[in-house]
Amino acid sequence: MLAALRPRAGCAAYPKVLAQVTWRRSDMAENCHHTAIDIDDVPKQRPRLPPPKYGEHITVLSIDGAGIRGLIPLQVLKKLEELLKEEEMKKNKKEGENARIADYFDVIAGTSTGGLIVAMLAVPDERSTDMRPRPKYTTEAIEEFYLKNGPGILSPPETKSTWGNLADTCIRPLMIGPKAGPMYDLLRQQVWWPKYENKKLIEAIDTGLNGGPGRPSSLTLGDTVTRVLIPAYDVKKRRVISFTTQTTKKHPDATLAAAYPCSCGTPTPRQSTISLRDVCLGATAAPTFFPAHHFTHGVEEDNNGQPRPREYNLVDGGVAQNNPTLLAIRSMFLEVEGCCECRPPKAINSDFHKDPTEPKPFDIAKCLVLSIGTGSQMKAYEVEQCKNWGLWAWFLDGDHHPLLDIFTSTSSSLINMDTGFLFRLNKCPEKYLRIDLRTCLHIVSTPSYTLMQPVQSVQENNTTVVNEDRTPDMALDAASEDNMKRLVQFGQDLLRDKVKRIITDSRIFIPTALPDGKRNEDELREFAKWLVHERNLRLGEEEKRRKQEEEHAETSAANSSASN
């Protein structure tokens, strides 16, 4: 039995295989509520994506953050998964039926709600019987997870904090008049503690990561079925921490989790077992919405050189990197080029080089990048409206959070422009596809303000026909059943919007529709063909290399036997 499990050349080291098999058995024994598993429920096996050294490109997927608006990129991902299946089924029906997003990307990055989507795309299925488990969820299953858990997660807290109790005792008696009750409730909910508890969020994350209510998920970053990258902001260290899975030259076949603790971005393999649950809780802890998340992992030195537990004090990474596209590209650069010079020896990842003895430099023209946005809740103001604003108004203006909106939307826009310019500069703009709701903004003027809001629209003869009755509320926490349906519909309609790219020739550095009038769905179809071609190319080259190694081993054994 164990001999049958022994990996072929290029697979994980034998002890690692045994560890994975043992983990699945214990995990199933602990978490499974059934005495037997229906054989029809066992996921069909499919080879993992071979390393980039066997192909032509490095494939990258990036997903922005924005609370319940995560339903929007899920519509794009659902369409991509459908297109991948269609393309695979042209040659092999079985391959097509089992296709998953994680089968095609070298790294999947996501901020905030995008990080949760990324984690679920890469969660291993505990029912897998193979030494390398399959992804557990389809994109449709993740959408159902959002629709089911969104309203519960984004519901008002049932208990009060110390500040809330103090407010009840000291402030409420001082508030009189017919508007005192609603005003007090607003203060209590928006000011004295986070708008929502994270109890339901914790339960949902545990359930999504192979745990459940009262059964915390035991998965680590190293358990994911492909590389993931999830940023969060450490409020104590005052920097973005990119939690990611990487392979290193030292461990060519073992997936290690790494965090970037220094400004240079050098990965630290000692962070190899960080809890995926803790990462997701930290990455989704949006300030004012959810409590910050604290956990310890590993050891670090204090100012006196003495060891102490390494602390993480995290809030939502969207405050700094709501669009993680460049972080994902940077992580691939580190895989290709190795660590920076500040922490020698410089080591490259042999999975990214056909000949590790003559490594080639990172080339962005060999990257295929799909970046999916979530739009923004943008309210445009005149100077006269906001010039005298104080702390309260900047943080809360009705249902809007002006300062938070500015941080997240500006970050996403600038990173999109920088990434688009980078690909344009290297004469390969077609290898970067950005699909974002922000390209569908419509200006609505009222006597008090100008609202930049997304609208349901259809392009007819270069004229936008607007259907405002179906326009979704773009608030991060607008998780009513009706609004979630609108977000889903809008994400589907987004696929019919025109492709937009950064055009530098005309000095226009904002996303601009191309003259050919291509739609996002058309470009996504071409992208799916590219991904399928890349995967099949790698599988073929890996199999060819394996046969060559076997023939070489047989020849060496025969020569050795003849000489004896």
Q: Which residues, 6+ apart, have CB-to-CB distance to 133 below 8 Å? A: 20, 24, 43, 124, 125, 126, 225
3-state secondary structure at position 496: coil
| Cβ 287 vs Cβ 315: under 8 Å | yes
d(CA 371, CA 20): 32
Which residue in 27, 64, 223, 316 is the catalytic one? 316
Query: Three-state SS across 199-253?
Result: HHHHHHHHHHCCCECCECCCCEHHHCCCEEEEEEEECCCCEEEEEEEECCCCCCC
Active-site pick, 62, 112, 242, 409: 112
Q: Phi, psi (5° rounding) for residue 530?
A: -60, -45
What would the two tokens of residue 374 be? Answer: 């979530």
Contacts of 136-142 with CB under 8 Å at 24 or more apart are 136/43, 136/210, 137/208, 138/81, 138/100, 139/74, 139/77, 139/78, 139/80, 139/81, 139/101, 140/78, 142/74, 142/77, 142/117
- 215 φ, ψ (degrees, to nearest 5): -125, 85
Among this protein's residues, is 316 annotated catalytic?
A: yes
Helix axes 481-494, 139-153, angle to 10 degrees: 150
Query: Distance between CA 306 and CA 310 in Å, rounded?
Result: 12
Say which residue the tokens 């004896």 belong to: 564
Decide the pairing of beta strands 456-460 and 463-467.
antiparallel
The amino acid sitting at 441 is L
How far is the CA of 520 from the CAs of 69, 82, 338, 414, in angstroms? 19, 15, 35, 21
On whether the CB atoms of residues 339 and 347 are closer than 8 A, the answer is yes
Rounded distance, CA 109 to CA 117, Å?
Answer: 9
Active site residues: 112, 316
